[in-house]
Amino acid sequence: MPRDAREVGGAWRRFQQHAYPDPAPDLAPYVSRFWMVSWDYGEPYRQLIVPYPNVHLTFQDGGARLQGVCTGHQVRVLTGRNQVFGVTFRAGGFRPFLRAPVSTLTDRSVNASEVFPGDLPDPPEAAAVEAFLRARLPVPDPRAEEAMDLVATIAADAAITRVGALADRAGMTVRELQRLFAEHVGIGPKRVIRRYRLHEVTERLSRGASIDWAELAAELGYADQAHFVRDFGRLFGEPPTRYAERY
């Protein structure tokens, strides 16, 4: 399948505008960031979306939806002129709002009214969305805070490539860690570790780094290069060498 020239070498930036306002301090314990994306495409464009382990609340065309953590990449077709305002909740931080295991939302998109009843913010901009969330702030949950801290540890420490190492650091058994992540993150700790380590690969690619793929696979804890390539393809929708063309 021929590659769309608009996705190679960062050409998509000519068609999209992005902004990332920080949340107010009282929302920061739960909200990682706000984001706004607008686009203008004369011809439909297939937007590759690769996931981090976050729940998103999005406002578009007068409605709002909640997207649970995705276990793989998604493709959204963007056409015409439109925009989205989004809220990225901290990984592990949505359980107090949901009041149910976050795994019940995994790979699902639902109407936001199922979790956030009431009128939607109009217009959906940072101040209005902050007021909307502030009126629905949950009671603090120590287990959610523990889950958020563990995900932050994974994100910050590239040396964490094994679930057992994270369990030892947390003072838990592997099974206890898996239960905590199913309840508060939505996917297991192994998948979270793999996602952050593989996202680090894309950051190297974006910097134009030269990569020895076999050496990198070993560094990330893979048995061999083939397992690494397979995992990368599942998450990003294409092999790492093809993905590198984007930069």
Domains by residue range for the chain, with CATH: 5-134 (2.60.120), 142-244 (1.10.10.60)
Phi first, then psi, for residue 143 (nearest 5°) are -70, -35
Answer whether 206's CB lies under 8 Å from 244's CB.
Answer: no
% of the chain at pLDDT higher than 90: 73
First-last CA distance in the chain: 19
> Residue 185 pLDDT more than 70?
yes
pLDDT at 62: 93
> Residue 87 pLDDT more than 80?
yes
% of the chain at pLDDT higher than 70: 99
pLDDT at 106: 97
Answer whether 232's CB lies under 8 Å from 201's CB.
Answer: yes
pLDDT at 10: 79
pLDDT at 9: 78
3-state secondary structure of 31: strand
Concatenated DSSP letters of 33-57: EEEEEEEEEEEEEEEEE---S--EE
pLDDT at 110: 97
Q: How far apart are CA 221 and CA 199, in angstroms?
A: 15
In the predicted model, what is the mean pLDDT of the chain? 92
* 83 DSSP β-pair partners: 38
Q: How far apart are CA 192 and CA 189, in angstroms?
A: 5
Answer whether 55's CB lies under 8 Å from 66's CB.
Answer: yes
Q: Give the tens place of pLDDT for each residue, 119-158.
A: 999 889 999 999 999 999 999 999 999 999 999 999 999 8
Q: Give the tens place of pLDDT for each residue, 215-225.
A: 888 888 888 89
Angle at 199 between CA 158 and CA 55, to 5 degrees: 105
Phi first, then psi, for residue 57 (nearest 5°) are -110, 120
Return the minimum-mean-pLDDT range out of 38-42, 137-141, 168-172, 234-238. 234-238
pLDDT at 93: 94
pLDDT at 241: 82
pLDDT at 237: 86
pLDDT band at 247 (very low <50, low <70, confident <90, very high): low
Q: Choose from 177-181, 204-208, 224-228, 233-237 the range with maximum mean pLDDT.
A: 177-181
* 75 DSSP β-pair partners: 48
Return the minimum-mean-pLDDT range out of 43-47, 80-84, 139-143, 235-239. 235-239
In the predicted model, what is the mean pLDDT of residues 159-169?
95
pLDDT at 155: 94
Phi first, then psi, for residue 11 (nearest 5°) are -65, -25
DSSP H helices, the chain, are: 95-98, 126-134, 142-156, 163-170, 174-184, 189-206, 213-219, 225-236, 240-244
